Amino acid sequence: MKLTDRFYKIDKDFRNPYARDRDRIIHSGSFRKLEYKTQVFLNHEGDFFRTRLTHSIEVSQIARSITSELGLNESLAEAIALAHDLGHTPFGHIGGDTLDECLKADGFKNGFEHNFQSFRVVTKLEKRYRSFDGLNLTFATLEGILKHSYPYRKSFIPPVVDEYFDLERHPTYEAMIVDRADEIAYISHDIDDGVHSGLITFEDLKESELVCEILDKVASEGVGSENDEMFRYRFSSHMINHLVYSLLEYSEKRVEDKEEFPIGYDKELETKIKKLKKLLFTKMYQHKNIVRKMYAGAQAIKGLYKGLMEEEKMLPEFHYKQLEQRDKHRVIADYIASMSDRYALNFYNEMYGKI
């Protein structure tokens, strides 16, 4: 008997349901586009900097490691992690905020929010089956994507969704872990990218007690100066390890006892993390070079929205056909949200001239 005869049977899939979810997400068009979507630095600014795709992979790796150690479902955490940013617009958070403003200015009070957009991507916007929309993911994966961050009930989520997912209840522990893994990943890699770009230095970040603790660990290894690539790598490694092991130490017994919110850190470390995030916002995310690029991105989003609202025939055929069934504003928002940074800039330049 041929191997294909033995294994290629659609009714006898050897994968578990969450592994199937993971594979469907990885093979989706929306996942591939994450390669060209901004994390902090615009995609075209250099090959080294993280994108939404590399960020999602890093979140997945951290989440899998934590769930494995806690005896939870790795495949479920991996699927949620890989899908959690599918709804992001081009140009990072400023793109989503600008699209939200455009929709609300036109009377759509729910506006735009990237977490709910990720849910819409995997339930409505991806087309892989003739008889229904979406990727046909399991309930637990969908709930993990929808309840990506606490509090779970948010004004932009339609009541009909609440009927199925009960936004008063917490999601699986795996979903909570992805939320924390997301935080661990962006703290460590944003510092790495920020120092590499020259926007910040480790000296700037020594206002953070947590950073100082990690710098002491790196210095004890004698790996060179703070400007060296090896030093940055060792810093990121120590930061991730410190946060992961601290989380495991705090959470392990609480998971065993089936507490409602078991995933987290002790109060002292939570405070240190909040202070570091505030410092990063001030020193890096609000740096003039980042603000200038994000401002340009915001203008591109506004211009695309205005142009497409005035002439919907510029929409691709797939989105244009949806105008028969869905509201024009939402169809245009879905199209803009699906764009990569590069595609959005090129389309804007085609409309208005080079930005």
**Mean pLDDT of all residues in 192-197:** 89
Decide: 301 and 91 in contact? Cβ < 8 Å.
yes
| pLDDT at position 348 over 90 | yes
pLDDT value at position 324?
92
Q: What percent of the chain has pLDDT over 90?
A: 69
Domain assignment of residue 231, yes or no: yes
Domain assignment of residue 98, yes or no: yes
Decide: 284 and 196 in contact? Cβ < 8 Å.
no
Span 37-85, pLDDT tens digits: 876 655 445 444 678 999 999 999 999 999 999 999 999 999 999 999 9
**Mean pLDDT of all residues in 131-145:** 94
Task: Return d(Cα 177, Cα 291) in angstroms, integer.
Answer: 31
Total-model pTM = 0.91
Domain assignment of residue 341, yes or no: no
Span 263-317, pLDDT tens digits: 999 999 999 999 999 999 999 988 898 888 889 999 999 999 999 999 999 999 9
pLDDT value at position 225?
79
pLDDT value at position 165?
85
Residue that has been written with the tokens 């990885």 in this structure = 26
Domain assignment of residue 14, yes or no: no
Mean pLDDT of the chain: 90
Domain assignment of residue 320, yes or no: no
Domain assignment of residue 176, yes or no: yes
Q: What percent of the chain has pLDDT over 70?
A: 92
Task: Return d(Cα 226, Cα 230) in angstroms, integer.
Answer: 9
Domain assignment of residue 187, yes or no: yes
Of the candidates 59, 61, 40, the residue with the CA atom closest to the CA atom of residue 49: 40
More confident residue, 6 or 88: 88
pLDDT value at position 144?
94
- The range of the structural domain enclosing residue 112 comes to 36-290
The pLDDT confidence band at residue 173, using thresholds 50, 70 and 90, is: very high
Q: How many domains does the chain have?
A: 1
Q: At residue 127, what are phi and psi to the nearest 5 degrees?
A: -120, 110
| pLDDT at position 124 over 60 | yes
| pLDDT at position 216 over 90 | yes
| CATH code of the domain in which 144 resides | 1.10.3210.10
Helices and strands, counts by H and E, the chain: 17, 0
**Mean pLDDT of all residues in 214-228:** 87
Residue 206, token pair as written in the block: 């020594």
Contacts of 229 (CB under 8 A, 6+ apart): 196
| pLDDT at position 149 over 80 | no
**Mean pLDDT of all residues in 116-140:** 93
Domain assignment of residue 270, yes or no: yes
